[in-house]
């Protein structure tokens, strides 16, 4: 197919040119004497992306799922009780992983389209006077439904109740894209992956871990070796690794973190909000609804769009891919066929996103949805125009390279 295809899935996201070039490096010796001069500052800078000064960063050659596993095996013991809520495919999978590691998961099911039920959590934690709940899980951004949860609120109730449970957060599709504050929110472990806001290919689980969670490893009796924090600490502290690291990916991470800190986290969050809001304007112009039930749940990294009864969201995704070379996100599990998803995170701007909205319009019309051609695009255009950063043409040119 001539031309480029376009990716509007909620990860993997587009890898910026500078990051791709950094990854495309010659292989190197993971025991070279000057490697720490590369790795130590890198790990320090990755912490900034988590907004953490206190935490310790771990990078495992793994997917985000591996990050979930690292989070629990290093802090918990068989039979430990954890509190978790299920409202989408990814919050479900983390629960499943816990159960397969013999944890006792107290599951709070809420309708898909809502997020972490802070009030229910409050009840359960308040009831846990014996302190049986060792960890509270929060899926910060449920990728399957486009729902963002309120991590700070969970922290607050733990503090209010003076509950000692660890706060473990899945930030795979939020960190480096939308507001996340490791230290301020008192997150104990934040799990992220390389292939979303970090704008890298898949293959690295990136975690930030609080001192409290680190200390928990001493009592945690779940088996672990590959994902053991201890082995990492022993070698990482000197700038090295317990086993062969994917140095090409770490070179890419260096470039990615340079881009992230160069743009500025607050600017990145604002950009993602602006891009997302344009999509929401388009959805509204189409006369459709989001899966996320209320604005407070709206995710700025992914929108799950409900298709009208009688239509198949997954067929739209398939048609868009085969006919127009566009990748949108399928509806998964409980919402399979009922939604299709537009990912709007990572290395993205409004012009790229408008091509995706155009393609979505075409695919929906091809499938017979009663959508007006150009309507969503026009709504998004107008929003983007109104919110475009004014360009001081003369100054811009003077600064340009």
Q: Among residue numbers 354 through 373, which ones bind a copy of itself (CB under 8 A)? A: 354-355, 358-359, 361-362, 365-366, 372-373
Residue in 271, 274, 280, 306 binding a copy of itself, rule: CB under 8 A: 271
- What is the largest distance, in Å, between two alpha-carbon atoms of the chain? 66
Residue in 195, 236, 299, 303 binding a copy of itself, rule: CB under 8 A: 195
Q: Does 234 bind a copy of itself (CB under 8 A)?
A: no
Residues numbered 240 to 269 that lie near a copy of itself (CB under 8 A) are: 242-249, 263
Residue in 59, 71, 97, 304 binding a copy of itself, rule: CB under 8 A: 97
Cβ proximity to a copy of itself: between 62 and 291 the closer is 62
Cβ proximity to a copy of itself: between 66 and 186 the closer is 66
Q: Alpha helix (H) ranges present in 101-150?
A: 118-127
- Kindly give the pairing relationship between strand 81-86 and strand 133-139: parallel
- The whole-angstrom separation of Cα 248 and Cα 252 is 6
- 227-236 contacts, C-beta under 8 A, 24 or more apart: 227/60, 227/62, 227/66, 227/69, 227/70, 227/73, 227/74, 228/73, 228/74, 229/58, 229/70, 229/74, 232/58, 232/60, 233/56, 236/39, 236/43, 236/58
Which 8-state DSSP code applies to residue 329? B
Cβ proximity to a copy of itself: between 158 and 268 the closer is 268
Residues numbered 2 to 31 that lie near a copy of itself (CB under 8 A) are: 2-7, 9, 11-17, 20-21, 23-31
Residues numbered 277 to 316 that lie near a copy of itself (CB under 8 A) are: none
Least distance to a copy of itself, CB of residue 31, Å = 6
Only one of the segments 79-87, 163-171, 294-302, 320-328 lies at the binding site for a copy of itself (rule: CB under 8 A); that segment is: 320-328
Cβ proximity to a copy of itself: between 122 and 204 the closer is 204
Cβ proximity to a copy of itself: between 15 and 335 the closer is 15
- By three-state DSSP, how is residue 9 classified? coil
Only one of the segments 57-65, 104-112, 210-218, 293-301 lies at the binding site for a copy of itself (rule: CB under 8 A); that segment is: 57-65
Cβ–Cβ < 8 Å for 113, 147: yes
Cβ proximity to a copy of itself: between 296 and 323 the closer is 323
Q: Does 333 bind a copy of itself (CB under 8 A)?
A: no
Burial of 130 (0-12, 13-18, 19+ CB in 10 A): exposed
Structure tokens at 135: 């960890």
Cβ proximity to a copy of itself: between 180 and 383 the closer is 383
Which 8-state DSSP code applies to residue 307? P
Q: Does 385 bind a copy of itself (CB under 8 A)?
A: yes
Q: In angstroms, how far is CA 386 from the centroid of its own chain?
A: 28
Q: Does 323 bind a copy of itself (CB under 8 A)?
A: yes
Q: Give the closest residue to 208 by CA, choosing from 12, 90, 44, 41.
A: 44
Residue in 240, 273, 289, 325 binding a copy of itself, rule: CB under 8 A: 325
């Amino acid at each position: 197919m001539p031309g480029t295809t376009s990716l509007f899935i909620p990860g993997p996201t587009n890898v910026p040119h500078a990051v791709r070039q950094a990854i495309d490096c010659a292989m190197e010796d993971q025991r070279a004497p000057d490697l720490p001069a590369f790795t130590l500052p890198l790990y320090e800078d990755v912490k900034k992306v988590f907004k953490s000064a206190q935490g310790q960063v771990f990078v495992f050659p793994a997917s985000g799922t591996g990050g979930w596993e690292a989070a629990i095996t290093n802090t918990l013991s068989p039979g430990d009780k954890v509190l978790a809520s299920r409202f989408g495919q990814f919050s479900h999978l983390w629960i499943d992983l816990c159960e397969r590691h013999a944890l006792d998961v107290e599951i709070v099911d809420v309708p898909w389209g809502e997020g972490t039920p802070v009030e229910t959590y409050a009840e359960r934690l308040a009831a846990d006077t014996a302190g049986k709940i060792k960890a509270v899980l929060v899926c910060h951004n449920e990728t399957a439904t486009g729902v963002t949860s309120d991590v700070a609120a969970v922290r607050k109730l733990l503090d209010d109740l003076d509950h000692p449970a660890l706060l473990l957060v899945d930030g795979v599709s939020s960190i480096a894209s939308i507001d996340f504050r490791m230290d301020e929110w008192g997150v104990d472990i934040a799990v992220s992956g390389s292939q979303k806001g970090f704008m890298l290919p898949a293959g690295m689980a990136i975690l930030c871990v609080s001192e409290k969670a680190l200390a928990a490893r001493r009592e945690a009796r779940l088996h672990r070796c590959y994902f053991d924090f201890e082995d990492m600490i022993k070698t990482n502290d000197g700038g090295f690794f317990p086993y062969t690291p994917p140095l090409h990916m770490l070179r890419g991470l260096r470039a990615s973190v340079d881009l992230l800190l160069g743009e500025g986290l607050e600017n990145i969050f604002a950009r993602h909000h602006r891009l997302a809001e344009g999509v929401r304007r388009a959805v509204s112009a189409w006369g459709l609804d989001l899966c996320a039930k209320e604005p407070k749940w709206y995710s700025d990294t992914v929108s799950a769009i409900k298709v009208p009864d009688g239509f198949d969201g997954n067929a739209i995704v398939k048609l868009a891919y085969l006919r127009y070379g566009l990748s949108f996100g399928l509806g998964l599990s409980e919402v399979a066929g009922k939604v299709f998803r537009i990912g709007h995170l990572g290395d993205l701007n409004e012009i790229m996103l408008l091509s995706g909205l155009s393609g979505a319009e075409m695919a929906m019309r091809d499938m017979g949805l009663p959508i007006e051609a150009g309507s969503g695009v026009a709504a998004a255009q107008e929003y983007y125009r109104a919110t475009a950063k004014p360009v001081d043409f003369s100054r811009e040119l003077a600064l340009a390279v």
